């Protein structure tokens, strides 16, 4: 296998604009570099005056169709559609209203509302041609004032069993429509006091091992399509690196101890928790070496039109320098291939 031709399939990249033009870099990345996936946004944070990807149902469906037609193999088209505060497809643009995870999880004895909301969400995504939802959040609501989880109602509950039960219902509804789900943010963002979008997040003094319990319960039921790593530093787990860049946490804790052999996807590597502390090349190579399979560059906090070829070059250089093994890359490629084959089979 010529690895250089396949490295692009390990990347998920965002781009501005509601339509595709032939000269756009994202078109080049899909057609020439074999880009593995895209992530869609409803706002351009780097240039607020510029239109993002989401305007209307008809426009977005046409965009997703155009993106998929560019790809030789199935393209992951992903979005953060959790419900509540975090939803890129919003009612003001004509999309279904989805309530927050906290409201869904308030029904602790059953998952009726969660199933209804998840089925509505999955049906909408499938109709648009979006095949990957970066949800549900399985972080525990242990710190209600947490600015990025508790304070904006992204967690189902502080009870791991309740979180796992509602997450399983969410995932099942998406699977029935052929849409992948992604549980996040491993090993647990619920107890944090800061936002990893904005800078370094240390959970060493707040994180507890029972924050792993939703993952353990879901993995026992084979209810996990993908796991997203959080850019979370815990010196008790790894004294040197945050989870996304830690082989102790990804390869050791998630893969070996918990037994997950599916696709691990990074949170956005342009978030300040990573970009302020590691060079581009180091973050790319360290995350892959740690056991992450697909790297996300939202290209939304900052925009780099050439981030795809830059990442591919960094990965090739990492292999040549011996800091990233070909075996590790082959393992990632195999996992991504299996995941995409499931999409094809579900669609058939």
Q: Note whether 90 and 51 are within 8 A (CB).
A: no
Token pair of 102 as six digits: 């906290």
Which residues are 77's β-sheet partners?
38
DSSP class of residue 96 equals P
Q: Is the separation of the CB atoms in 52 and 41 below 8 Å?
A: yes
Query: At a CB cut-off of 8 Å and minimum separation 6, what does 208 contact?
Result: 142, 191
Q: How far is CA 122 from CA 117, 128, 136, 139, in A?
A: 9, 10, 12, 21
- Would you say 264 and 336 are in contact if contact means Cβ atoms under 8 Å apart? no
Annotated catalytic residue: which of 29, 225, 238, 267? 267
CA–CA dist 223, 171 (Å, integer):
7
Would you call 205 a catalytic residue per the annotation? no
Residues 6+ apart with CB under 8 A from 344: 74
Reading phi first (left if > 0) and then psi (alpha if -120 to 50, else beta), residue 278 is in beta
Catalytic residue among 197, 225, 241, 293: 197
Catalytic annotation present for 304: no
Please identify every residue annotated as catalytic: 197, 267
């Amino acid at each position: 296998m010529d690895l250089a031709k396949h490295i692009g399939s390990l990347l998920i990249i965002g781009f501005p604009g509601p339509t595709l033009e032939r000269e756009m870099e994202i078109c080049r990345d899909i057609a020439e570099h074999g880009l593995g996936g895209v992530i869609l946004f409803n706002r351009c944070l780097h240039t607020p005056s510029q239109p993002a990807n989401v305007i209307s149902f008809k426009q977005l469906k046409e965009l997703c169709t155009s993106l998929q037609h560019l790809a030789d193999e199935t393209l992951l088209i992903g979005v953060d559609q959790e419900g509540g505060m975090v939803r890129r497809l919003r009612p003001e643009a004509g999309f279904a209203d989805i309530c927050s995870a906290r409201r869904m999880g308030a029904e602790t004895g059953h998952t009726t509302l969660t199933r209804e909301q998840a089925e509505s969400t999955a049906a909408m995504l499938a109709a648009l041609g979006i095949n990957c939802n970066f949800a549900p959040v399985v972080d525990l609501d242990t710190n209600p004032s947490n600015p990025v989880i508790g304070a904006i109602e992204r967690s189902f509950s502080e009870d791991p069993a309740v979180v796992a039960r509602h997450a399983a219902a969410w995932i099942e509804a998406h699977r029935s429509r052929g849409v992948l789900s992604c549980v996040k943010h491993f090993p647990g963002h619920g107890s944090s006091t800061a936002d990893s979008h904005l800078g370094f997040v240390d959970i060493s003094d707040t994180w507890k091992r029972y924050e792993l319990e939703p993952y353990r319960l879901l993995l026992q039921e084979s209810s996990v399509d993908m796991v997203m790593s959080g850019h979370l530093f815990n010196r008790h787990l790894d004294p040197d690196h945050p989870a996304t860049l830690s082989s102790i946490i990804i390869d050791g804790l998630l893969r070996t101890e918990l037994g997950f052999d599916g696709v691990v996807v990074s949170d956005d590597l342009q978030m300040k928790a990573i970009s302020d502390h590691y060079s581009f090349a180091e973050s790319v190579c360290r995350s892959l070496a740690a056991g992450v399979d697909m790297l996300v560059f939202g290209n939304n906090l900052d925009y780099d039109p050439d981030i795809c070829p830059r990442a591919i070059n960094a990965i090739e250089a990492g292999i040549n320098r011996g800091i990233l093994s070909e075996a590790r890359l082959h393992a990632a490629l195999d996992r991504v291939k299996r995941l995409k084959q499931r999409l094809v089979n579900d669609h058939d």
